[in-house]
Amino acid sequence: MAEEEVKVFRTWSSPFPLRVIWALKLKGVEFDTVYEDLSNKSPLLLQYNPVHKKVPVLLHNGKPICESLVILEYVDERWKQFPLLPQDPHERAKARFWAKFGDDKVLQTMRMDVLLKQGKEQEEAIVSTIENLKYLEEELKGKKFFGGETIGLVDIALGWLAYHFNVVEEIIGVKLIEQQKFPLLVAWMQEFSNIPTIQDSWPPRDKLFDRYASFRKAALGEHTPK
Amino acid sequence: MAEEVILLDFWSSPFGMRVRIALAEKGVKYEYREEDLRNKSPLLLQMNPVHKKIPVLIHNGKPICESLIAVQYVDEVWKDKSPLLPSDPYLRAQARFWADFIDKKIYDIGRKIWTTKGDEQEAAKKEFIEALKLLEGELGNKPYFGGESMGYVDVALIPFYSWFYAYETCGNFSIEPECPVLIAWAKRCLQKESVSKSLPDPQKVYEFVLVLKKKFGIE
């Protein structure tokens, strides 16, 4: 069998490449990592992702795959051990639905409106996020992970909830995922984080805090409190 | 085994059209139900409680929401006819990438063309053409994005062709001179019954857009 060359283009902080890292590690795939500085993108990144110029990019035997959820499906199809998607078509459709929901309705709102806005706009974004988190709480009923007994595509796509989300909560001084409101989600966050592959992969918290705080500061202006 | 397939849809929705085309390509018999989006049916609200949107594909009582997810579902369930996604994982990833690109760009930018004017509209028109040109690049000299036959990306994109006349008229510009290869591709797709029967008359779409503009107080 020919030697596989697998490379992941990532940054130290972004949750999107982290998904790819998790998937590869869980499947026991050997890979190299290329760290990008997004303020100074490498010629290779621009060559491999000319359309979006973003991370992650997975390079497999010289061929690039872009967009984290697309990469996850590719990885799942190429390396069959530790399957991330179920076999049943309807269950697969549900998994894809929740992964997309997380990105469109929770992640987008958190990193844009909750983190970078204030006043009424931020309040509305917080209310919206909590409403959408309720759907995720509901989805966890009777399950340890979104994927069932073991983690799957949805857990990996939502993984940032278990770490990055709390950094935003701390910066804005508002707790959205409260224990009494979201007992299943809180339990899931702990279970997910306890997985050694996940635990070992989180970026340094203080650095992440500083980074997000600086985004907020830049978006709102220096004179803004918090 | 009796299959019950229902599609909750709205005639002018490009997202709904995707599922119509996929079902037609596979020769699946289904019941089309037109939703009144100002008065959504209890079934729609029950089957898509999260987004309350169409299209919703209901197969033997189970709902599948989000158009591209539904198209993939149709491709996986009725896998013996007209495969939409290729079998090679790398080519599948490319198809998914471009379908995602279409989702990110075409609808929202297209919407800006008919809901804005002045500089904002000009910027939207420019962005729109740029996105179409990237897609033209991906098409290359293949007859379809899927190669010799229509595939996932073709199904994802062709519905928006029924909205081009509305975009062009509202935006006072012409797409064909900028993207002749893409327009040739669109006309090629329309030769197929699965597409021609699934897309509405562009003139009707334009009239619908005018009604919406009036309703939203645009222009």
Kindly report, residue by residue over A21-66, the tens digit of the pLDDT: 999 999 999 999 999 999 999 999 999 999 999 999 999 999 999 9
**Cα of B201 to nearest chain A Cα, Å:** 31
- Per-residue pLDDT 10s for chain A (226 aa) are 456 899 999 999 999 999 999 999 999 999 999 999 999 999 999 999 999 999 999 999 999 999 999 999 999 999 999 999 999 999 999 999 999 999 999 999 999 999 999 999 999 999 999 999 999 999 999 999 999 999 999 999 999 999 999 999 999 999 999 999 999 999 999 999 999 999 999 999 999 999 999 999 999 986 555 5
Domain end residue (candidates: A78, A99, A129): A78
Specify whether A43 is located in the same domain as A123.
no
What sign does the dihedral A45-B178-B164-B189 (CA atoms) show? negative
Tokens of A209: 């805090």
Specify whether A98 is located in the same domain as A203.
yes
Mean per-residue pLDDT of chain B: 97
φ, ψ dihedrals at B161, nearest 5°: -60, -30
Residues in Cβ contact with A191 at an 8 Å cutoff, skipping those fewer than 6 apart: A144, A145
Residue type, A182: F
Do the chains contact at B64 and A78, CB–CB below 8 Å? no
Question: Which ipTM was obtained for this model?
Answer: 0.96
Question: Does A123 fall in a domain?
Answer: yes
Sequence-separated contacts (24+) of B43-49 with Cβ below 8 Å: B43/B8, B44/B8, B47/B8, B48/B8
Chain B residues with beta carbon closer than 8 angstroms to that of A67 = 96-97, 100
Do the chains contact at B101 and A51, CB–CB below 8 Å? yes
**Cα of A98 to nearest chain B Cα, Å:** 10
Do the chains contact at B76 and A74, CB–CB below 8 Å? no
Residues 157-216 of B with CB under 8 A from A: none
Chain A within 8 Å of B65 (Cβ-Cβ)?
Answer: yes
Specify whether A96 is located in the same domain as A206.
yes
Specify whether A163 is located in the same domain as A65.
no
- pLDDT by residue (tens digit) across B93-141? 999 999 999 999 999 999 999 999 999 999 999 999 999 999 999 999 9
Specify whether A45 is located in the same domain as A95.
no
Instruction: Please give the DSSP secondary-structure letter assigned to residue A148.
Output: B
Domain end residue (candidates: A21, A54, A78): A78
Q: What is the dihedral of CA A138, A70, B130, B173, to 10 degrees?
A: -50
Specify whether A124 is located in the same domain as A147.
yes
Give all strands (DSSP E) within A57-180, no chain letters. 57-60, 63-66
Instruction: Please give the DSSP secondary-structure letter assigned to residue B159.
Output: G
Work out how many CB contacts closer than 8 A connect A with B. 54
**Cβ–Cβ < 8 Å for B95, B152:** yes
Residue type, B118: G
Specify whether A46 is located in the same domain as A116.
no
Chain A within 8 Å of B4 (Cβ-Cβ)?
Answer: no
Specify whether A97 is located in the same domain as A208.
yes
Residues in Cβ contact with A202 at an 8 Å cutoff, skipping those fewer than 6 apart: A163, A193
Quote the distance between the C-alpha of residue B129 and its chain's center. Answer: 17
Chain A residues with beta carbon closer than 8 angstroms to that of B73 = 89-90, 92-93
Domain end residue (candidates: A35, A55, A78): A78
Chain B within 8 Å of A173 (Cβ-Cβ)?
Answer: no
* Mean of pLDDT values over B142-170: 98
* Residue A10: strand pairing partners: A35
- N-term to C-term CA, chain B: 53
Chain A residues with beta carbon closer than 8 angstroms to that of B100 = 67, 69-70
Chain A within 8 Å of B10 (Cβ-Cβ)?
Answer: no
For residues B164-182, b (16+ Cβ closer than 10 Å) or e, as one string? bbbbbbbbebebeebbeeb
Cα separation, A194 vs B117, whole angstroms: 53
For residues A50-86, b (16+ Cβ closer than 10 Å) or e, as one string? ebeebbbbbbbeeebbbbbbbbbbbbbbbbeeebbbb
- pLDDT by residue (tens digit) across B171-187? 999 999 999 999 999 99
Question: Which candidate in A27, A53, A90, A135 is best for mutational testing of the B interface (most B CBs within 10 A)?
Answer: A90
Asked if the model's pLDDT at residue B2 lies above 80, the reply is no
Question: Does A35 fall in a domain?
Answer: yes
Nearest to A89 among B77, B90, B97 (CB): B77
Do the chains contact at A73 and B101, CB–CB below 8 Å? no
Nearest to A70 among B69, B70, B93 (CB): B93
Q: CA nearest B150: which of B111, B198, B218, B107?
A: B198
Specify whether A167 is located in the same domain as A94.
yes
Cα separation, B100 vs A100, whole angstroms: 11
Specify whether A114 is located in the same domain as A63.
no
Question: Does A223 fall in a domain?
Answer: no
Specify whether A10 is located in the same domain as A73.
yes
Domain span holding position A148: 89-215
**Cβ–Cβ < 8 Å for B57, B5:** yes
Cα separation, A106 vs A50, whole angstroms: 27
pLDDT value of position A222? 60
Structurally, chain A folds into a number of domains equal to 2
Question: Which candidate in B52, B60, B64, B134 is best for mutational testing of the A interface (most A CBs within 10 A)?
Answer: B64
Question: CA–CA distance from A122 to each of A113, A213, B38 (Å)?
Answer: 6, 15, 29
pLDDT value of position A151? 97
Evaluate if pTM is beyond 0.90.
Answer: yes
Chain B within 8 Å of A51 (Cβ-Cβ)?
Answer: yes
Specify whether A66 is located in the same domain as A138.
no
pLDDT value of position B83? 98
Residue type, A10: R
Chain A within 8 Å of B11 (Cβ-Cβ)?
Answer: no
- The CATH number of whichever domain residue A34 belongs to comes to 3.40.30.10
Would you tell me how many other CB atoms lie within 10 Å of the CB of residue A123? 14
Question: Does A220 fall in a domain?
Answer: no
